[in-house]
Amino acid sequence: MTTSRIHGFYNLPLDERLTELANAAGLSAADLEAFTLTGGLAPNQADHMVENAVGTFGLPLGIGLNFIVNGREVLVPMAIEEPSVVAGASFMAKLARAAGGFQAEASAPEMIGQMQVLDVPDLPKARQALLEQKANLLAEADVIDPVLKKLGGGARDLEVRVIEDSPIGSFLVIHLIYDVRDAMGANAVNTACEKLAPRVENITGGRVHLRILSNLADRRLARARCTIPVNEMAFGRDESEAHPYTGEQVRDGIIAAWAFAAADPYRAATHNKGIMNGVDAVVIATGNDWRAIEAGAHAYAARSGRYTSLSTWGKDADGNLTGFLEMPMAVGIVGGATKVHPTAKAALKLMGVKTAAKLAEIIVSVGLAQNLAALRALATEGIQRGHMSLHARQVAIAAGATGDMIEKVAVQMVAEKTVRIDRAEEILKE
Ligand code: MEV
């Protein structure tokens, strides 16, 4: 990858964008073929993925530009139906470039498998017995997936919890900690829990009920940081702008917006949704399980007992804006749709990602960029203006506009500041 800054990308026709993309990423057009037209997934491939398949469902795929993650230029594929997300992430990545982009890291790919043990005659005794047998249990769990084992993964730890205040009373819960390397890990962990269950029953004298992965993957975290030079934050300083903001005003506005999310769950839910706009778009484009990522993110945001912001914004000693995001990131690059879906394969190739950790680092950086885009807009002109032109095009299409009429109807609605389907229908009639 030479650069993730492709000038004028937005204004190019679709096919030229693909050529530019392939050139910038040092790939052949064939490498990115899955990005064109059909969405990459043929109905007969879909038929092997889910039951009762009748077709596929397309989503726009945009490219997040300008990203530098850990010093590496990266073009980011984003699958999303919402206007402004790709543009917002790209613009914030451009601002972050001035201070070197995003610094990101991912912890060890350790997932948690849970076993619920019911009808245990003596809970403290069973707990003690499990802990005494821990080394044996881990040794057994470790060889359940020989492929993972060969790659350096496998069982890492075993924790035993007693849950006392459940609606059915007390029971034991075992956490099997499993290093899943470059997989998302659900299959490996679920298999390990199922296979270990009979041994757990022998040891505890109880009955293993559920055996399933936890999506609160709080041992598999990804973190991203960025610094935005305060002078880069000035907004609408052009004479023609009605409401110019200095860099300091925008920075302080963003910090105040973050403080709202830090203190209030109603705002935090929306704030974190903005983060997930960026996160999910890359998770989906790479064929990963976005419901798992969503579940993990929100559970992690509530880990203190009060739901709060996943990100933190502040300023450094020089007055520059600083951002930090930490969240669970259970994504894989092997197994599941990541290896089956042609677009997902092309997406990984475009990013030059060779490990799940590298993918996690990019995703969390995009989440942070997306969060910044939303806060910057909210702290200044509001969110609607940026949304308007693409939103207006969607409204025009919904009203029946085709071809050139889409743009014409959209432009008129934006000029009139009335983007509504009834107005679009009127303009079309006129
Ligand atoms: C809209 O999809 C996302 C935002 O609501 C996020 C936020 O409010 O921070 C703009």
The C-alpha atoms of residue 84 and residue 388 are separated, in whole angstroms, by 9
Q: Whose CA is nearest to atom 1 of ligand 1?
A: 274
Q: Whose CA is nearest to atom 7 of ligand 1?
A: 271
Q: Whose CA is nearest to atom 2 of ligand 1?
A: 274
- How far CA 164 is from CA of 77, 167, 317, in Å, comes to 46, 9, 48
Q: Give distance in angstroms: CA of 375 to centre of ligand 1.
A: 8
* Tokens matching residue 272: 């974190």
What pLDDT is recorded for position 237?
58
Fold of 386-429: Helicase, Ruva Protein; domain 3 (1.10.8)
What pLDDT is recorded for position 192?
96
Q: Whose CA is nearest to atom 4 of ligand 1?
A: 274
Candidates 390, 369, 343; CA nearest to 278 is 369
Over the chain (430 residues), what is each successive 10-residue block's mean pLDDT? Answer: 85 90 86 78 86 90 97 97 94 95 98 98 97 97 92 97 96 98 95 97 98 98 98 75 83 98 98 98 97 98 98 98 98 85 92 96 98 96 76 89 89 88 92
Domain range annotation of the chain: 9-107+220-381, 110-213, 386-429
Place of tokens 């077709």: 55
What pLDDT is recorded for position 179?
97
* Cβ of 274 less than 6 Å from ligand 1: yes
Of ligand 1's atoms, which has the minimum distance to the CA of residue 257? 9
* Cβ of 269 less than 6 Å from ligand 1: no
Of ligand 1's atoms, which has the minimum distance to the CA of residue 375? 9
CB contact at 8 A, 341 and 41: yes
Q: Give distance in angstroms: CA of 290 to centre of ligand 1.
A: 18
* Cβ of 387 less than 6 Å from ligand 1: no
* Cβ of 374 less than 6 Å from ligand 1: yes
What pLDDT is recorded for position 242?
59
What pLDDT is recorded for position 366?
98
Place of tokens 């009060």: 306
Q: Give distance in angstroms: CA of 273 to centre of ligand 1.
A: 6
Q: Whose CA is nearest to atom 9 of ligand 1?
A: 271
Q: Give distance in angstroms: CA of 21 to centre of ligand 1.
A: 28
What pLDDT is recorded for position 251?
97
* Cβ of 273 less than 6 Å from ligand 1: yes
Q: Which residue of 81, 258, 271 sits with most ligand 1 atoms within 8 Å of its CB, as the best mutation to test the pocket?
A: 271
Q: What is the 3-state secondary structure (H, E, C) of the chain?
A: CCCCCCCCHHHCCHHHHHHHHHHHHCCCHHHHHHHCCCCCCCHHHHHCCCCCCCCCCCCCEEEEEEEEECCEEEEEEEECCCCCHHHHHHHHHHHHHCCCCEEEEECCCEEEEEEEEECCCCHHHHHHHHHHCHHHHHHHHHCCCHHHHHCCCEEEEEEEEEEEEECCEEEEEEEEEEECCCECCHHHHHHHHHHHHHHHHHHHCCEEEEEEECCCCCCCEEEEEEEECHHHHCECCCCCCCCCECHHHHHHHHHHHHHHHHHCHHHHHHHHHHHHHHHHHHHHHCCCCHHHHHHHHHHHHCCCCCCCCCEEEEECCCCCEEEEEEEECCCCCECCHHHHCHHHHHHHHHHCCCCHHHHHHHHHHHHHHHHHHHHHHHCCCCCHHHHHHHHHHHHHHHCCCCCHHHHHHHHHHHHHCCCCHHHHHHHHHC
Q: Give distance in angstroms: CA of 118 to centre of ligand 1.
A: 43
Using left for φ > 0, alpha for ψ between -120 and 50, and beta otherwise, residue 117 falls in beta
* Cβ of 384 less than 6 Å from ligand 1: no
Backbone angles phi, psi at 232, to 5 degrees: -75, -15
Fold of 9-107+220-381: 3.90.770
Q: Which residues are catalytic?
A: 82, 273, 289, 387
Fold of 110-213: Alpha-Beta Plaits (3.30.70)
Candidates 43, 74, 41, 45; CA nearest to 59 is 41
Q: Give distance in angstroms: CA of 225 to centre of ligand 1.
A: 20
Q: What would the pLDDT profile of 44-75 be if each residue is shown by its tens digit? A: 888 888 899 988 888 999 999 999 999 999 99
What pLDDT is recorded for position 41?
84
The C-alpha atoms of residue 258 and residue 254 are separated, in whole angstroms, by 6
Adjacent-strand bridge partners of 77:
63
